[in-house]
């Protein structure tokens, strides 16, 4: 992440307006609240009153989220006027229903399915003269529909990101909050062409917004919103240094097998903390299982302290729902599907200073969410693999047991970079965790846990051919 003194000052002051080029940056909305938003200042158009009599509007932006639920509104862009709280509102409900409010009307656009845990390009246009509106998702156009024909958005606009104004300049509700990220927000006082939208969707050169320009933006941050660098898969150029896995140790080749659903099978691990409290953490591991889930929890990693039984807990329910507990607070991460009967690389990060938490499955990042902001995991940590501690050091439950295998478990007292996570996924990570290191960790097995040689996915390719 880049260090931006002005941007970070905005976050600490909770209300700093400044014109900035936010190229390569995104606003992260990590929690469902009724107060977190970003207020935008519109640029003046060709005349001083043009922004107060809008009859044509185009808005483009990119969003990143993981919430698939039907009925949960996520608001991206809200423009209100004194006469219309939903003057120009863009939101989504579920994965295949986007909504546009203009003036006194609302339209639903169906079956433009977005990608969870990935950046989606979204544009919307409206022309008062014809009333025609349209949205575009990742360059794919919707049907054209009619709303607020002949209308005008009159009065000084009030624009916020990440929330829905139910009244001019306010009336925010947690149920309307975006949990995710926004970047590249532009607004025009005209209907832009399909070629402009295509260029925007493909990250090519386009004419920037004349009313909102992401590269010359005046904004005010309210509540828990973080401005940080955008992560794109294509922008990670990792340099692998001092890496040698040609002669792995025995531990590198081994895995713990949890063969039965019991309340007494687990592995106790000794972390190297030397009396330090935990304020930042990363845990990476690989798991292998065949249970598709439903409401069946499978626990991979459980760190408890005297104050928090779920100090840092990593588990999954079903194939597309991973969970992270920090300080007994929980975040659900949706839409990162893993494969059954295959080794899955998994990492989870948390930083107390910002409260930001994130998980990565096979190198694919989740949406960033808020957990235990400002919290500290103090006291002697008790760490187990394959079970969930419902009390410090014990009270295990059969329903929380892992049935499968674990290997390559590491823990750091920092948030490792996405390049280091990529190295872990590709088995090219140099060294290992400084709190728990699979190659050096102290451990004891309990119950029906077997330590055995891990069968790699390509193991059978190395078998000798029959004579």
Query: Which residue would you say has higher pLDDT here, 238 or 31?
Result: 31
What pLDDT is recorded for position 28?
Answer: 98
What pLDDT is recorded for position 464?
Answer: 64
Q: pLDDT tens digit string along 246-288?
A: 333 435 689 999 999 999 999 999 999 878 899 999 999 999 9
Query: Which residue would you say has higher pLDDT here, 52 or 162?
Result: 162
Q: Does residue 182 carry a pLDDT above 50?
A: yes
d(C-alpha 322, C-alpha 335), whole Å: 9
Alpha helices, H only, 119-253: 194-201, 250-253
* Burial zone of 237 (CB within 10 Å; 0-12 exposed, 13-18 middle, 19+ buried): exposed
Q: 253-453 architecture in CATH?
A: Sandwich (2.60)
What pLDDT is recorded for position 43?
Answer: 85
How much is the average pLDDT of 438-443?
A: 93
Q: pLDDT tens digit string along 19-29?
A: 799 999 999 99
**pLDDT interval class at 243 (50, 70, 90):** very low
Q: pLDDT tens digit string along 342-366?
A: 999 999 999 999 999 999 999 999 9
Buried b (16+ CB within 10 A) or exposed e, 380-397: ebbbbbbbbbeebeeebe
Query: Which residue would you say has higher pLDDT here, 324 or 113?
Result: 324
Q: Does residue 17 carry a pLDDT above 70?
A: no
**Which CATH fold topology does 5-234 show?**
Jelly Rolls (2.60.120)
What pLDDT is recorded for position 351?
Answer: 98
What ranges do the domains of the chain cover? 5-234, 253-453
**pLDDT interval class at 44 (50, 70, 90):** low
Q: pLDDT tens digit string along 192-228?
A: 999 999 999 999 999 999 999 999 999 999 999 999 9
pTM for the whole structure: 0.86
What pLDDT is recorded for position 414?
Answer: 97
CA angle 200, 204, 209 (to 5 degrees): 45
**Tokens standing for 141?**
């156009």
Q: pLDDT tens digit string along 77-90?
A: 999 999 999 999 99
* Domains 5-234 and 253-453 in one fold: yes
Q: pLDDT tens digit string along 292-321?
A: 766 678 999 999 999 999 999 999 987 789
What pLDDT is recorded for position 248?
Answer: 38
What pLDDT is recorded for position 59?
Answer: 99
**pLDDT interval class at 446 (50, 70, 90):** very high
Residue 416's CB: how many other CB atoms inside 10 A? 18
- Which segments within 94-139 are labelled E, that is strand? 97-102, 105-110, 120-127, 132-137
């Amino acid at each position: 992440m880049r260090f931006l003194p002005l941007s970070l000052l905005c976050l600490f002051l909770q209300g700093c307006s400044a014109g900035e080029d936010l190229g390569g940056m995104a606003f992260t909305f990590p929690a469902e609240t009724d107060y977190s938003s970003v207020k935008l200042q519109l640029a003046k158009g060709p005349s001083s009153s043009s922004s107060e009599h809008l009859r044509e509007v185009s808005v483009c932006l990119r969003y990143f989220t993981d919430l698939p639920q039907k009925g949960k509104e996520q608001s991206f862009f809200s423009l209100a006027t004194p006469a219309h709280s939903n003057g120009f509102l863009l939101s989504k409900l579920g994965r295949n229903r986007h909504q546009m409010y203009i003036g006194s009307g609302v339209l639903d656009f169906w079956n433009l399915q977005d990608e969870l845990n990935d950046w989606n390009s979204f544009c919307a246009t409206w022309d008062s003269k014809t009333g025609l509106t349209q949205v575009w998702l990742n360059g794919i156009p919707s049907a054209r529909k009619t709303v607020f024909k002949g209308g005008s958005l009159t009065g000084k606009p009030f624009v916020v990101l990440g929330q829905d104004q139910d009244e001019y300049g306010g009336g925010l509700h947690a149920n309307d909050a975006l949990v995710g990220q926004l970047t590249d927000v532009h607004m025009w006082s005209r209907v832009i062409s399909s070629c402009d939208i295509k260029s925007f969707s493909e990250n090519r050169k386009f004419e920037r917004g004349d009313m909102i320009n992401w590269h010359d933006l005046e904004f005010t941050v309210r509540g828990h919103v973080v401005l940080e660098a955008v992560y794109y898969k294509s922008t990670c150029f990792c340099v692998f240094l001092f890496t040698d896995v040609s002669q792995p140790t025995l531990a590198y080749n081994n895995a713990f097998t949890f063969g039965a659903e019991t309340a007494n099978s687990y592995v106790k691990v000794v972390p190297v903390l030397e009396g330090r409290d935990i304020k930042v953490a990363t845990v990476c591991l690989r798991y292998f299982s065949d249970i598709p889930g439903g409401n069946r929890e499978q626990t991979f990693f459980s760190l408890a302290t005297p104050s928090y039984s779920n100090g840092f807990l990593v588990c999954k329910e079903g194939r597309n729902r991973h969970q992270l507990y920090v300080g007994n607070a929980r975040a659900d991460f949706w839409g990162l599907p893993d494969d059954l009967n295959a080794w899955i690389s998994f990492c989870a990060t948390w930083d107390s200073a910002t409260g930001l938490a994130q998980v990565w499955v096979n190198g694919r990042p989740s949406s960033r969410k808020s957990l235990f902001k400002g919290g500290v995991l103090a006291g002697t940590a008790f760490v187990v693999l394959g079970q969930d501690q419902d009390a410090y050091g014990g009270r295990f439950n059969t329903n929380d047991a892992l049935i499968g295998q674990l290997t390559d478990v590491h823990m750091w007292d920092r948030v490792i970079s996405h390049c280091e996570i990529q190295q872990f996924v590709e088995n090219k990570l140099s060294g290992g965790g400084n709190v728990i290191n699979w190659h050096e960790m102290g451990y004891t097995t309990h119950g029906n846990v077997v330590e055995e040689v891990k069968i790699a996915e390509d193991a059978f390719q190395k078998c000798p051919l029959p004579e």
